[in-house]
Amino acid sequence: MIPRWFLTTLVFALPVLVVTFAVVLGAAALAGGLGDASGSRGLFWLAMAALVLLVIDVLLLVAALGIRALEADRDENGA
Q: Please tell me the distance from the alpha carbon of residue 19 to that of residue 12, in angstroms, as a whole number.
A: 12
Burial class of residue 28, CB neighbours in 10 A (0-12, 13-18, 19+): buried
Residue 12: pLDDT above 90? yes
**13-24: per-residue pLDDT in tens?**
999 999 999 999
User: Domain map of the chain by residue range?
Assistant: 11-73
Residue 49, pLDDT score: 98
**39-57: per-residue pLDDT in tens?**
999 999 999 999 999 999 9
